[in-house]
Amino acid sequence: MNTNHWSRFILIILILFQAASGLVGGVALVMDPSGGNMQLPPDMLNQSPFSSFFIPGLILLLVLGIFPIFVFIGLVWRPPWKWANILNVYKNRYWGWTYALYIGIMLVIWITTQLFFIKDYHILHTIYAMLGVAIMIAALLPMVMDQYETR
């Protein structure tokens, strides 16, 4: 397999990993908004606008779980869904590529917002912030960008 395929494969794997993580974490928080099944203390939310983990869990599930599955489908199979271009600001790139970049940005914002509100640090914050940066770097590799160019 040539380098171009490996770089695209790395982006796809990173997106798939984020989808799985977002689904697992989101479902866990929606199913148990107390955070108990994830061993999250309720007082973690004291300085946040939330009284339970339900809304953060729902956001995690939809934005960083289900949305990456949609993007994964776009990156792998490239369905010609015209409606998916609605939020694509890079009209010369396939929407799946643009949305992969959005996922990296959203993940970094998600982690930054968590740190701002919970005022506590866990190694997972660094890991997921790095995942967001890795997704952005993988998407912005010239060989990946070339593969998703719409001529």
How does pLDDT run across 140-150, given as a tens digit for each residue? 999 999 999 99
Query: What number of helices (H) and strands (E) belong to the chain?
Result: 6, 0
Low-confidence ranges of the chain (pLDDT < 50): 1
CB half-sphere exposure, 46, CA atoms < 13 A: 6
Q: Which pTM does this prediction carry?
A: 0.95
pLDDT number for residue 120: 87
The reported pLDDT for the residue numbered 4 is: 63
Question: For residue 6, what pLDDT is reported?
Answer: 93
DSSP 113: H
The pLDDT tens digits for 86-105 are 999 999 999 999 999 999 99
At which residue do the structure tokens 């955070």 appear?
35
Tell me how far apart the alpha carbons of residues 27 and 83 are, in angstroms, rounded to a whole number.
Answer: 27
